[in-house]
Structure 1
Amino acid sequence: MYEPYPVPDLARDHKKFRYSSLWNFAKQDLKLLFFFLLIGGLVGYGMGYLASCLLAAFAFFLFLQLRSLYLVNEWISNRPYDVPPNLNGIWGALLFNVYRSQRQERVVQADMVGLIDRAQSSLVALAEAVVLTDELNQIEWANPAAEKLLGIQYLDRGRNLLSILRQPRFIEYFNDIDKSPDGIKIKSSINDEHYVQIKLTPFGSDSHLLVAYDVTRMQNLEQMRKDFVDNISHELRTPLTVLSGYVETFIDQEDINPRWKRAFEQMQSQTRRMNALVNDLLLLSRLENDKQIAKNQIIDMPSLMNQLFDDAQAYNVDYGHTLNLNIDSHYDLIGSDMEIASAFSNLITNAIKYTPRGGIISIGWYDDQDHGYFMVEDNGIGIDPKHLPRLTERFYRVDSARSRQSGGTGLGLAIVKHVLMQHGAHLEVDSIENKGSTFKAVFPKQHLYCVDHAD
């Protein structure tokens, strides 16, 4: 094995040293002491000064030990990376351990430096922006892409990140990362026509890793899709209205042929379904584009729950379910009554549609002081757990045939998700196949209004 510099004799015998006990090295010092005492004793016995010679021999041995100690200290203090002194005994063992530890440390340091260089080179080559901040939110390091996407330059190191990225939405996100676990999308501070997705990850003691990438193309495609759906939905409303009017006119004719009447009834059913789909698409488009009405209305929850229950009773006529209403909260909701009513109604009608005849459906509103809960529980067909993560995707159906038969549009839960997002809430779903489902809308405390303390 190649050595960068000469190694002491003791250090070369790795195997012997590694598996020898400290006593083996101490015996070298004891043998040396015994040798000096023996020589001193013989000389002193011959000269008649036995005690003095023994004392002199011990003093000489002590001098050698102190000299070794001096050499060890001088090497560790002044020349730790030079070749260590070639000593025997316990001091040699000590030197070898220090020497070996230093070599291992240098190897580890070299590996770490190489790894850091490779990691830094990789980060520099990334098209995504990477920024590191310290406990004071000051920029420690940023790659070149950070300048292109976020306007963070090399000279900005040491500056507060929030003094550069001053968009209110980013500051809000920075102060409450958990509120947006997937990050946020903002306009680039360099180019207003570009959009950047930003994700913050905390590490260490209040430090952060910021990763950002350009999502302009995805944003444009998404906007094109939304505009297309919005425009098509608007364009379909007029012909659907005309078709519905003519179909109703023909159905109302008393002398119509029964065969034609059946055909017109099917046409009426399908036009109603298409009209419901168009209305849902328009509502979803409005929610996604943030074209919402004010969210600061105080919604009278007992009144709303009773209205929803009455509507559910009317819808339930053809299903024959047992409906229960439970209100166990003194809180009202703060938000849009129209959107909240639409979301809750979707959850209730879904439970009615997907529960076999004669089922039991419970509708409730309650709180635990920190959150408000709207709940719909049924003992219907249930949902396979593999479908739960995708339930709120638009047009996603667990059973397409059953959905078409029930007249569903596949947009109900997508609307529910977006309405809840607009109100800072989220949807929780628990379901067991063939046993039933529980859909729970969870609202944060800041969207609750305590009726007991109303002025």
Structure 2
Amino acid sequence: MDSTWLVLISLALGLAVGAGFVALLHVAERRGARAAEVVSPTIPDGIDQVLEALESAGVVLDPSHNVMKASPGALSMGLVWNGGLVHPELVELVDGVRRTGEAVSKELVITRGPFGDASMYLRVRLARLGTRFVLLLAEDRTETHRLDEVRRDFVANISHELKTPIASVSLLAEALDQAADEPEQVRRFANRLTTESGRLARITQEIIELSRLQAQDALATPRLVSVDAVVAAAVDQNRVVAESHDVTIVVGRRSRVEVYGDETLLVVAVHNLIANAVHYSSAGSHVGVGVKHFDGIVEIAVTDQGLGIPEEDIDRVFERFFRVDQARSRHTGGTGLGLSIVKHAVQNHGGDIRVWSQPGHGSTFTIRLPEAVQNVAGTHNAVEANGENVDTYPAG
């Protein structure tokens, strides 16, 4: 009997000890899970979807500044690399938000990526996300900053460009008054006055044209436009000037293609290219105007045999008021806005403009436009008809 009780007591003690160990294991497991949550906290639900939807950059950081999540924008802007923030300025802002708990907004100038040297203008906002995370949002304002600089430069340039003809008109008016009794002087000053007033009118007109092209509704009602008609009108506008410069304009075969757009704007664009080619061509040379079309693309090329453009200036020729040869441009009455107008007119029609040039051998400017859909099926017939004629406008 005594031995039986001893066995029962031993079993009871064994069960009690086992239950105690099991309970301790459960407690340890729960504590381990809580510790794991502290070490590797989870991001609140929905943050992944929000970051994916952001057009700007978004980054979520843990207490050790490790990047837990980053939007595609943050990666493309080079804010995140090797699991952390690239820029010390951003890390410092994160520290401040974590320390004070208050949201922060700031504008920064930083480099793009860990190894880049291009500057990037950012507007950033940081705030706590829950108790352990910090959310960083960044908006790239580099393009906005560039456009602000362009506007400032435009105002400065236009003030300078208008100042010269206005001052000339004023001085010539005074000279006319003083030379009232000298008919020869009056005629000379009157001719100068006409030249300067014409230059002032051209600058004003081109500024108005450029402003219209930059408006959102520049092509509010596009229509089918004959490219041959555009080229013919532009050539006709330059015929007299070409003859006076002893320059021959040679026009290629008719294309019989059409594009969607504004005929007046396209005539202005082609006219400006031809006018530039004539002004920069020497006496006895030729300016060629040709149209090609292939794979739904229409190309209008204007080629001259002039001085050409230095390689370092090719990327700048479409800037407002930029002139390759300042002295020659002023002598020929150039405003420096013509190519900028061409660029905006072509872009408004969904196309682009390209330039090839070699100093001493001339330049070729090529306008590329999408061909009108209605005409794509007739491309083969138009190509067959290309052999009809070649129009030339010889110098006077």
**TM-score band (shorter)?**
0.5 to 0.7
SS in 1 for 2:252: strand
Is 2:329 the counterpart of 1:403?
A: yes
Please list, as runs of the form range in 1=range in 2, the aligned pairs for 1:136-285 lying within 5 A after superposition: 212-214=139-141, 218=145, 221=148, 225=152, 257-285=183-211
Q: 2:257 corresponds to which residue?
A: 331
**What is the CA–CA distance in structure 2 between the aligned matches of 1:399 and 1:122, rounded to whole Å?**
55
Structure 2 letter corresponding to 1:213: D
Distance 1:336 1:142, change over 3 A: farther
Cα distance, 1:427 vs. partner?
Answer: 1.0
**Post-superposition CA distance 1:270-318 (Å, at most 9, x none):** 1111110111111112222334143521112222222222222222121
Cα distance, 1:131 vs. partner?
Answer: 5.9
Q: 2:74 corresponds to which residue?
A: 130
TM-score by length of 2: 0.54
Verify the 8 A CA contact 2:323 2:336 in the aligned structure 1: yes
Is 2:362 the counterpart of 1:418?
A: no
Q: 1:290 corresponds to which residue?
A: 216
Structure 2 letter corresponding to 1:388: I
Q: 2:240 corresponds to which residue?
A: 314
**What is the CA–CA distance in structure 2 between the aligned matches of 1:217 and 1:322, rounded to whole Å?**
44
**What is the CA–CA distance in structure 2 between the aligned matches of 1:364 and 1:272, rounded to whole Å?**
30
Q: 2:284 corresponds to which residue?
A: 358
**What is the CA–CA distance in structure 2 between the aligned matches of 1:220 and 1:354, rounded to whole Å?**
31
Cα distance, 1:327 vs. partner?
Answer: 3.1
**What is the CA–CA distance in structure 1 between the aligned matches of 2:239 and 2:152, rounded to whole Å?**
38
**What is the CA–CA distance in structure 2 between the aligned matches of 1:398 and 1:448, rounded to whole Å?**
40
Structure 2 letter corresponding to 1:431: S
Verify the 8 A CA contact 1:373 1:440 in the aligned structure 2: yes
SS in 2 for 1:269: helix
Q: 1:379 corresponds to which residue?
A: 305
Distance 1:225 1:451, change over 3 A: farther
Q: List alignment gaps of at least 5 residues for structure 2.
A: 1-60, 77-82, 86-122, 126-136, 382-396
Q: 2:365 corresponds to which residue?
A: 439
Distance 1:256 1:431, change over 3 A: same
**Post-superposition CA distance 1:125-177 (Å, at most 9, x none):** x9x96168xxxxxxxx999xxxxxxxxxxxxxxxxxxxxxxxxxxxxxxxxxx
Structure with bigger gyration radius: 1
Cα distance, 1:334 vs. partner?
Answer: 0.8
Cα distance, 1:223 vs. partner?
Answer: 9.4
Verify the 8 A CA contact 1:383 1:431 in the aligned structure 2: yes
Cα distance, 1:329 vs. partner?
Answer: 2.5
Aligned length: 253
**What is the CA–CA distance in structure 2 between the aligned matches of 1:424 and 1:216, rounded to whole Å?**
21
**What is the CA–CA distance in structure 2 between the aligned matches of 1:448 and 1:440, rounded to whole Å?**
23
Higher helix share: 1
**What is the CA–CA distance in structure 2 between the aligned matches of 1:450 and 1:122, rounded to whole Å?**
56
Verify the 8 A CA contact 1:330 1:452 in the aligned structure 2: no
Structure 2 letter corresponding to 1:313: R
**Post-superposition CA distance 1:368-403 (Å, at most 9, x none):** 133100010111111111111111011111111111
**Post-superposition CA distance 1:226-264 (Å, at most 9, x none):** 9969x989xx8xx98xx79x98xx89xx98611122112
**Post-superposition CA distance 1:69-93 (Å, at most 9, x none):** xxxxxxxxxxxxxxxxxxxxxxxxx
Distance 1:266 1:131, change over 3 A: same
RMSD between aligned alpha carbons?
Answer: 4.4
**What is the CA–CA distance in structure 1 between the aligned matches of 2:225 and 2:66, rounded to whole Å?**
53
Cα distance, 1:440 vs. partner?
Answer: 0.5
Distance 1:348 1:131, change over 3 A: same
**What is the CA–CA distance in structure 2 between the aligned matches of 1:296 and 1:142, rounded to whole Å?**
50
**What is the CA–CA distance in structure 1 between the aligned matches of 2:346 and 2:143, rounded to whole Å?**
26
Cα distance, 1:418 vs. partner?
Answer: 0.7
Q: List alignment gaps of at least 5 residues for structure 1.
A: 1-116, 133-140, 144-187, 191-209
Cα distance, 1:218 vs. partner?
Answer: 3.0
Structure 1 letter corresponding to 2:321: F
Structure 2 letter corresponding to 1:370: G
Q: 2:11 corresponds to which residue?
A: none
